[in-house]
Structure 1
Amino acid sequence: MRGKEQPVLSIIVPVYNVEKYIRDCLDSILAQSFQEFEVILIDDGSSDQSGAICDLYAEKDERIHVVHKENGGLSSARNTGLDLAKGLYVGFVDSDDWISATMYEHLLQAVRTEDADIAACRWVEEEHIQKFKSVHTYTWNSEEVLRHFFLRQITESVCDKVFAVEMWRNVRFPEGEINEDTITLFSLLLKCRRAVFVDTEEYYYRAREGSITKSGYSRKFRIVESHLRKMREKVLDRLPSLKKYVDYFLSVHYYCLLLSVLKSGEFHTFRDDYRYYRKRFAEVFPAFMWRGTGKEKDRVIGLALRYSPVCLIRPLLRR
């Protein structure tokens, strides 16, 4: 390392009740081909052995720093890590995921070579891992990277990326909300001069509850729609040429919100939410039909959501 005061990279890992997975996560970080980093483990009030495991790793490696705090949620833990980070660059790993041995070598090489603010790679769910044989990189300006983001060609996660630490000046994750990655990453991309995409699978995640499509609908998902509106307003104000692309991004999220309400088993409780999302979906419906989600079935369901009553949509979801 350059020295204890200035590591090249700060890796922030929020930890909460993941005693089954945390060793795999930390071992994958310590096995990196790039070694000039610090690891900031934020034990967010774990009630299992996660915090103790973090302490054991810190005893063995001086680059690992552990903070034990009361439970405040993912955003709170990440923000705590950001306040402590000393690196020139910042990365995030969720504590039930793991990374390839070359992820940070590839991302840092790309971000430095291209003088970029952000570097991203592919992430893949554990059962779909198929490593690419070569590493191709693509460099985008600020408008181009937002277009790729809205087309869902880079993920909405902060975990498969590295960021110049300056990008986080005056930017933090919203606490007490879901969808924190999406709105935060959008804010970072909006101020990004240049980004580089490393087209290889490097970040491996386990499917987990909490996303719109993975968990049942509840009122907490209403904040997603608020985030979407704010994003669209900012894009139309600053980059109106991206209207088609941000409308597509919104259409996919409204589609997911509608399906989540339908699958919740509490449709009558959230009927007003459904009606509202359906109205918003109608406004961006042409953008959804332009690209869909990549599956033809979703275009059919999208048409039903736009024009059919609920009683005719539900049979489609069971097929």
Structure 2
Amino acid sequence: MSDNPSSFHEGATPEDFPLISVIVPVYKVERYLDRCVQSIVDQTYRNLEIILVDDGSPDSCPDMCDAWIAKDYRIRVIHQENQGSGAARNNGIESSTGELIGFVDSDDWLEPTMYEALFNSLKNNDADISMTASIMEYPDGRQICHYQPNVHLVMTTSESFKYVNLPGYSTISPWSKLIKRSVLGDIRFPEGCVNGEDTRFTYEVLAASKRTTFDSVPLYHYRTTEGSLSHTYTNYNWAGYEATKQMVELVRRRFPEQLPFALYGLMRSMISLYDQALVTRSSKEQQWRRFAKDTQAFVRRNIGLVAESVDLPRGRSMQLKLMAVSPVLYSVSFLIYKRIHPERSK
């Protein structure tokens, strides 16, 4: 049993701290599951409810989940027919009892202090959501952190929609966050998406929060695998793109001071989709030619407003200008770049 309090709880029992429900959707990760769960069990923040949601996994994951029940009293297991990660997370939320909610992907792992750090940031800043940075773990052993160093932000609702649209400051993914149940309310993940369900969920919880924190010390290890959905070009993130369009309209209505940053976020989403089409050689299809023209028109229409407020990196500025001039010129330049730098995902 893992029930010894750490030094974080010296002079107190784990139950003196709010219960954090950690929800882990599990599907076809038998190679990685034990490391993931062990990293949650080993957290210095001890008052955890760990919910493993077996999403009808066809491998040994269901038995592995059940075996963990005997290893740590804080672990519960839900078995369900395969419905996707959105439904698995939603079922975990409905089953959870914690005052605070966190999510972990079952092929990733955590630094031991992650939930302690997230809780302290939440408490010390009277925040509704706290966020940490992550390290990208590649199969060849490379580790890349895409975040600005030495950053600690305490953001209003409006400011959170600025920084969520700036690379290097926060992330759209749910697994980097600790969220108050009172803020989560009835917000749930969309179900039936191949990918992109994270985007709408995160925008909704940010809109429901009054104060959000972000610390750029990376405490979450995100494993990129050969079959990872987020790194498979043929799985177009249309759901994320549609959610980002809705986010722009929300910002336009409620936080117009952040509109340039929201427009920048949508530009990046559109170009990312078109990059996928280029890599898969789908860009010559009629729908993608139309999408390229729509992207060009959107960038041309908004690049001035974006450039006035957003400190664009030189490479990104060149990318946007190329798209504004000609999708054909952009396509040629992108494919040359990919040939020279095949290891870069963006």
Check whether TM > 0.5.
yes
Matched residue type, 1:163? I
Q: Does residue 67 in structure 1 map to residue 82 in structure 2?
A: no
Deviations 1:58-80 (A, max 9, x none): 12212100111111111011001
Q: Does residue 197 in structure 1 map to residue 214 in structure 2?
A: yes
* Aligned-pair CA distance for 1:288: 6.0
Give the corresponding residue for 1:176. 192
- Which residue of the other structure, out of 162, 178, 192, is the alignment partner of 1:162? 178
Q: Does residue 210 in structure 1 map to residue 229 in structure 2?
A: yes
| TM-score normalised by L of structure 1 | 0.89
Matched residue type, 2:159? E
- Which residue of the other structure, out of 249, 258, 267, is the alignment partner of 2:283? 267
Change (3 A) 1:281 1:70: farther
Change (3 A) 1:249 1:85: same
Matched residue type, 1:301? Q
Matched residue type, 2:78? V
Quote the Cα distance in structure 2 between the aligned partners of 1:61 and 1:237.
Answer: 47
Quote the Cα distance in structure 1 between the aligned partners of 2:263 and 2:38.
Answer: 41
Quote the Cα distance in structure 2 between the aligned partners of 1:252 and 1:284.
Answer: 12
Matched residue type, 1:26? V
* Aligned-pair CA distance for 1:226: 2.0
Q: Does residue 79 in structure 1 map to residue 97 in structure 2?
A: no
Please state whether the residue corresponding to 1:318 is helix, strand or coil.
helix
Please state whether the residue corresponding to 1:163 is helix, strand or coil.
strand
Q: Does residue 113 in structure 1 map to residue 124 in structure 2?
A: yes
Q: Judge conservation of contact 2:199–2:244 (CA < 8 Å) in 1.
A: no
Change (3 A) 1:109 1:297: closer
Matched residue type, 1:169? G
Quote the Cα distance in structure 2 between the aligned partners of 1:309 and 1:241.
Answer: 30
Q: Judge conservation of contact 1:254–1:280 (CA < 8 Å) in 2.
A: no
- Which residue of the other structure, out of 225, 232, 246, is the alignment partner of 2:262? 246
* Aligned-pair CA distance for 1:283: 3.0
Quote the Cα distance in structure 2 between the aligned partners of 1:105 and 1:312.
Answer: 45
Q: Judge conservation of contact 2:22–2:103 (CA < 8 Å) in 1.
A: yes
Matched residue type, 2:335? L
Please state whether the residue corresponding to 1:46 is helix, strand or coil.
coil
Matched residue type, 1:38? E
* Aligned-pair CA distance for 1:266: 1.9
Give the corresponding residue for 2:40. 29
Please state whether the residue corresponding to 1:144 is helix, strand or coil.
helix
Percent identical among aligned pairs is 29
Matched residue type, 1:261? A
Change (3 A) 1:136 1:259: closer
Q: Judge conservation of contact 1:44–1:73 (CA < 8 Å) in 2.
A: yes
- Which residue of the other structure, out of 149, 165, 170, is the alignment partner of 1:150? 165
* Aligned-pair CA distance for 1:119: 0.6
Give the corresponding residue for 2:24. 13
Change (3 A) 1:309 1:197: closer
Quote the Cα distance in structure 2 between the aligned partners of 1:280 and 1:315.
Answer: 20
CA RMSD after TM alignment: 2.5
Q: Does residue 2 in structure 1 map to residue 15 in structure 2?
A: yes
* Aligned-pair CA distance for 1:137: 4.0
Quote the Cα distance in structure 2 between the aligned partners of 1:292 and 1:144.
Answer: 16
Q: Which moved more, 1:228-237 or 1:32-41?
A: 228-237
Quote the Cα distance in structure 1 between the aligned partners of 2:284 and 2:258.
Answer: 36
Deviations 1:165-212 (A, max 9, x none): 11121200111122111211111111111112223110010124323x
Q: Judge conservation of contact 1:11–1:93 (CA < 8 Å) in 2.
A: yes
Which consecutive unaligned segments of at least 5 residues does structure 2 have? 1-13, 338-346
